[in-house]
Amino acid sequence: MMLRTCAIALLFVSAACRSAAPLPAPSAAPAPPAASIPDSIRWVRDAAEYRAATLQAYRLATSAVEAAAAGRQAGSWAVVLDADETVINNVTYQLERAQQGLPYSSESWAAWVRRREASPIPGAAAFLARVRALGGRIAIVTNRLQSECADTAAVFERHQLAHDALLCRPDAGPSDKNPRFEAVASGRTPASSTPVEVVAFVGDNILDFPRLSQQSALAAEAAFAPFGTRFILLPNPMYGSWQPR
Ligand SMILES: [Mg+2]
């Protein structure tokens, strides 16, 4: 019994000595890979949370248009969506640039667009099909250039992403989407030749929403009021107008 007590006491002393001893110096951190992938890209590529967030956004958008469609005539209303990181996913492009240690460039982007390898964002195809079934018109307003529009349309067709108009940015034109939003509403696009009520905007960038910008949104809390009903935001931690220029 005496021996056992001593042994326990020794254990405590030993534990106390260990806890009081200085911590060993941290071993050297493993060398980072040649080109590490930013967490923002890994999140979009790998995270279950990203998939959940996009599905959640599109389910919210579906509920919003189902409510809006009730009592409206087919063809009298429309939805407007951005393309990149809203309907189609370009994480492969982002990943390849990161692996090469290179930033975005218009030349590399144009080459990516020509590959036609963007993939549908989870939830997008079902939402677009639902809008069609409810009698809504669909306008895609993207800042992909007009010269990139045919390759973009091919991606939409390949993945059966329903739409009535694909409004790209004129090659020498402004990136401001508001004139194209107004063209949709006033019936001056292939989405409709007569005025339509735009009941929902879907995008990943504050500039995908009418008359909003980083500055205006931050300046006025009321600017956020339509989000979750008429405005639906998709997550995009990889790039956007939030980045310093
Ligand atoms: Mg976008």
Rounded to the nearest whole angstrom, what is the distance from the C-alpha of residue 18 to the centroid of ligand 1?
55
Q: How far apart are CA 198 and CA 16, in angstroms?
A: 70
CA 42 vs CA 51, 84, 91, 98: distances in Å: 12, 17, 9, 11
pLDDT in tens, 204-218: 999 999 999 998 877
Polymer length of the chain: 245
Ligand 1 centroid to Cα of residue 204, in Å, is 5
Instruction: Quote the ligand 1 centre to 229 CA distance (angstroms).
Output: 19
186 CA from centroid of ligand 1 (Å):
23
Cα 84 to ligand 1 centroid, rounded to whole Å: 4
Pseudo-torsion of CA 158, 160, 161, 165, nearest 10°? Answer: 80
Where are the alpha helices (H) located in the chain, listed in sequence order? 2-20, 39-46, 48-69, 91-99, 106-115, 124-134, 149-158, 178-185, 214-219
- Nearest in space to 80 (alpha carbons), one of 234, 210, 228: 210
pLDDT at 218: 72
Whether the pLDDT of residue 100 is over 90: the answer is: yes
Pairwise CA distance, residues 123 & 200, whole Å: 16
User: Which backbone phi and psi does 142 adopt, to 5 degrees?
Assistant: -125, 150
- Phi, psi angle pair for 157, to nearest 5°: -70, -45
Does pLDDT of 15 surpass 50?
no
What is the Å distance from ligand 1's center to 81 Cα?
Answer: 9
Q: Is 76 helix (H, G, I), strand (E, B) or coil?
A: coil
Please give the distance, rounded to the nearest whole angstrom, from the Cα atom of residue 155 to the centre of ligand 1.
15
Specify the pLDDT at position 234: 98
Q: Which residues contact 43 (CB under 8 A, 6 or more apart)?
A: 49, 50, 237
CATH, domain range 36-233: 3.40.50.1000
- CA–centroid distance, 28 to ligand 1, in Å, is 40
Tell me: the pLDDT tens digits for 138-193? Answer: 999 999 999 999 999 999 999 999 999 999 999 999 999 999 999 999 999 999 99
When pLDDT is averaged across residues 230-239 and rounded to a whole number, the result is 98
Cα of 197 vs centre of ligand 1, distance in Å, is 22
Rounded distance between C-alpha atoms, residue 20 and residue 3, angstroms:
25
Amino acid identity of 142? T
